[in-house]
Amino acid sequence: MSWNFRLNAEFEMYYPHVGKQTTSNKIIKMNKILPLRPPLQLAKGQVWRMAEGILRVTLVGKLLVHYKLGKPDAVRVSDSINSITNIEKYLKTHKAVLV
């Protein structure tokens, strides 16, 4: 599922009247309500820096992400697996910056 589909589904859920005929036969324009920034795009090899550590994306599938989360100067870091939505939420809450 691409981010365009998720964005459109969320948009229609919160703004069901946009782009459809109203009782006065006017179509409401969508260009003023669309969000300014698309959701995060996770890709293989990305490095996200946070205050407490670094998240390295090793593999991205349809639903899951393989990643390594640890301190910047760590010798060994275990590989973890989590869903794409959970990783996106984690990166947003910890104010991660793509390096």
pLDDT tens digits along 14-68: 666 555 555 555 555 555 555 555 567 899 999 999 998 999 999 999 999 999 9
* pTM, to two decimals: 0.60
Q: Domain coordinates of the chain in residue numbers?
A: 1-39, 40-99
Supply 56's token pair: 């390295």
Average pLDDT value for residue range 73-90: 92
Between CA 14 and CA 2 the distance in angstroms is: 19
Distances in Å between the Cα of 46 and the Cα atoms of 16, 42, 60, 65, 81 are 35, 7, 10, 12, 15
Q: Which of 16-20, 56-60, 75-79, 85-89 has the weakest average pLDDT? A: 16-20
Does 9 have pLDDT greater than 70? Answer: no
